[in-house]
Amino acid sequence: MTKYLVGVIQNMRTKVKRLIFACVMVVMLLSLALPSFAALNDVSGHWAEPEVNKWVDKGIIKGYEDATFRPDNTITRAEFTALIARIFNFVKKADTVFPDVDADAWFAETVSKSVAAGIIKGDDTGNFRPYDPITRQEAAVILYRVFDLKVQNEKAADAFADSSSIPGWSKDAISSLFENGYIKGRPDNTFAPTDNLNRAEAVKMIDSIAGNLINVEGTYTGNFDGNLVVNTDGITLKDMSIAGDLFLAHGIGEGNVTLSNVNIDGRVVVRGGGENSIILDNTSITGTLLVIKKDGKVRIVVRGDSEVPYIQVSSSSIIAEEDVTGQGVGNVEVIELEPGETLVLDGDFEAVDVIAPGVTVNVEGGKVGKVNITESAVDSKVNIASATVEELNVAAKSEVNIGEDASLTNLNADASVNVAGKGTIENANINADDVVIEQKPANVTVAEGIKAEVGGEVIEGKPEEEETPVPIITPPPAPTVNVNAIKLSYKLPGTDEWVWTDSATHGGTITTLANLADTVQVRDIRIETTPSTGTMKLTSLVDSAGAGLIIPDILAVEKNLPTASIEELAGDFLSGGDGVSLKNLRAAFGGSVKVTGIINASNGAQQTVTFTINLKPDPSETPVNQWVNITEDTVNRIIYAEIKEGKADTRLRDIRVYQILSQSNNVPYSVIIDGTEYICAQVSSSVIADAISGGEWGTETLGYLKDYLADKTVQVVRSYGDEPYTLQFR
């Protein structure tokens, strides 16, 4: 009986264990399923609802077991760190963690990986305090580290009303986030650095800087307005524009990422990738490419019509060019390498700056303009295998090896250096002691008082021989030209007599025309110089709003001095019969026009002359583009004109044509309307206005113009010979 009871009890214990295990597994499965499939039930209508749902869909936000997010609750230091770790998909674990992080805690692995990634460092006591709410400044510091930000203006945070309460250890981080537009502060213009961050604020802060996330293998196309994080391997970005930074995160590991026909306006930060991994094909990067992958060498290959102007290396890496047809890689700067790490270069580079001490740089092949071993790069090694280097500048104690198939044009040794190898050196300029060059350069120059060992021979610099003084012959003074007077001729209505305006000199202003009627005709311009003969070529016309008129080649020809007609200098676009009316001049230029030209005098002297014609001063004159916002799509060559709020009913007759067509205060060269080109320097503004508006410029509104052009094709040529942009209202 006893044995029977024991057996029953043991059987029951086994069943209970299995039941408990099953329950645990169900709970775990439900917990794992929540972030991917279950909607959070307490964020609807909350101000952070879009951001929370966005990161739920990405699997970054997991919520609680009751399907709540609790957006207004504080977020702990462990929870905030976990969000960051999931976005970047940290891989490596730290050897040691904090004493207050239990090995069995749900966040133990996350904290370990975050320590290895260098984004958390603990407090002054060496603890992490995982269950404490994270403060706003602590969150800012973590984001500053993980997104590899640099502060440009250390005082940017002084814009907050409570900047005096921001301590030094967090101020750079807060300033950097603020100057990049990632944080804005609270409605009362405070940052509140020591306030606890709530869960909604945390997601909003992360969303503003992370921007977008790709965490599933595949090929992606399209455009991204902000930053983009890629945290897994097997990713191809194709036919894409990224308006912010691209982060190739830790989660890529030793895997591969390919960028094909991608334009990146910001930086590219490489934290992941292996020795076959990061491919840049027909890709351009406006900002810096940062290589900061720890533990393992990442290979970056630049191909095709790519442009990478600046690379900054902080970890072991290979940078290679293959079949480059574009600008390729520009400058490479080595700022940090761990002991034993190496930078390998293979391709054509403008310059390589070695800044970190004790590093090794191997230039395998290709051509390098300059290799600079800077003063801080003590004990560095540069190995030139089979490349051509035009100039090697040594400013710190270092070693250089030039392989048998390599060549160096100029070696400038301003510090101790040991140069070995069998490669050729054309010129060696030695300005420091303790320089040893194994091979014999074709030409060697040693500074006075300096000893060097070159080709097994000790060479000592000697004083330069004194040269016989050369008689100084004073050349005759260069010819000059003086501008004595600049005048315009004009005729009043009903008279036949042409009279001259007041005189101006170089840099001066003609004021007579300012108070005359629109019907007054202006004809000749007279520039009196000494010597009195020569030519002048028009180079610039700028109106009162600062807009410059493009001067086409047909007008940029020399005219004889002292007297030339307005039509000769400015073109037929102002012609109105016998001279030019002030009405046309004012329509074209507004209250004034600044004229610039080049005078070539008969004595050989040349001088630029500038003067202003005051047509009709109007201090309240409307600035350019008060009516429309102009934006450009440079890829598809489209100019978008968006009518500003409240301006749709503005009469077209109150707006000049160029104020709609201009961008950056620059009048375009020509306008093409349904295939017919109107050159702005030769056609009056009224002709272009009537062509654009169907003859209704004088009676209709800006809103009418938008509708009228809906089925028209209007193209704008920025400058002479340029490809046109299409103008579209929206």
Task: Tell me what the mean pLDDT of segment 283-287 comes to.
Answer: 95
pLDDT at position 620? 42
pLDDT band at 351 (very low <50, low <70, confident <90, very high): very high
Q: Which residues of 261-289 are buried (b: 16+ CB within 10 A; e: fewer)?
A: bbbbebbbbbbbbbeebbbbbbbbbebbb
pLDDT band at 617 (very low <50, low <70, confident <90, very high): low
pLDDT at position 317? 93
Task: Tell me what the mean pLDDT of segment 49-62 comes to.
Answer: 92
> Parallel, antiparallel, or unpaired for β 328-334 and 407-413?
unpaired
pLDDT at position 513? 86
pLDDT band at 17 (very low <50, low <70, confident <90, very high): very low
- Joined tokens for residue 57: 């869909």
pLDDT at position 10? 46
Residues facing 461 on adjacent strands:
none
499, amino acid identity: V
Q: Which helix (H) or strand (E) holds 596?
A: strand 592-601
Burial of 490 per CB tally in 10 Å (0-12, 13-18, 19+): buried
DSSP SS3 for 32:
helix
- Joined tokens for residue 216: 């599933």
Of 107-116, 433-442, 662-671, 685-694, minimum mean pLDDT range: 662-671
pLDDT at position 481? 85
Task: Tell me what the mean pLDDT of segment 283-293 comes to.
Answer: 94
Contact yes or no for 335/314 (Cβ under 8 A): yes
Do you know the residue count of the chain? 730
- Joined tokens for residue 710: 């809906």
574: Cβ contacts below 8 Å, ≥ 6 apart = 566, 567, 580, 584, 585, 588, 684
Residue 86: pLDDT over 50: yes
Residue 546: pLDDT over 90: no
Compute the distance between CA of residue 727 and CA of residue 637 in angstroms, rounded to an integer.
9
More confident: 418 or 695:
418
Residue 440: pLDDT over 80: yes
Please indicate, yes or no, whether the overall pTM of this predicted structure exceeds 0.75: no
Helices marked H in 219-280 — which ranges? none
Residue 414: pLDDT over 60: yes
Of 130-144, 298-312, 572-586, 641-655, minimum mean pLDDT range: 572-586
Residue 8: pLDDT over 80: no
pLDDT at position 661? 67
Task: Tell me what the mean pLDDT of segment 75-79 comes to.
Answer: 95
Of 157-171, 527-541, 581-595, 604-618, minimum mean pLDDT range: 581-595
Rg (the chain; Cα; Å)? 36
Helices marked H in 164-322 — which ranges? 168-179, 199-210
Contact yes or no for 115/94 (Cβ under 8 A): yes
Query: Per-residue pLDDT tens for 308-334?
Result: 999 999 999 999 999 999 999 999 999
pLDDT at position 452? 92
Contact yes or no for 242/266 (Cβ under 8 A): yes
pLDDT at position 202? 95
pLDDT at position 545? 65
pLDDT at position 5? 38
> Parallel, antiparallel, or unpaired for β 278-281 and 289-291?
unpaired
pLDDT band at 581 (very low <50, low <70, confident <90, very high): confident
Task: Tell me what the mean pLDDT of segment 205-225 comes to.
Answer: 95
pLDDT at position 92? 92
Torsions phi, psi of 686, nearest 5? Answer: -70, -35
Beta strand segments in 335-438, E: 342-354, 360-373, 380-384, 388-394, 398-402, 407-413, 417-421, 424-430, 435-437
Residue 31: pLDDT over 60: no
Task: Tell me what the mean pLDDT of segment 597-619 comes to.
Answer: 81
Q: Chain-wide mean pLDDT for the chain? A: 84
pLDDT band at 587 (very low <50, low <70, confident <90, very high): low
Residue 573: pLDDT over 60: no
Compute the distance between CA of residue 576 and CA of residue 573 in angstroms, rounded to an integer.
9
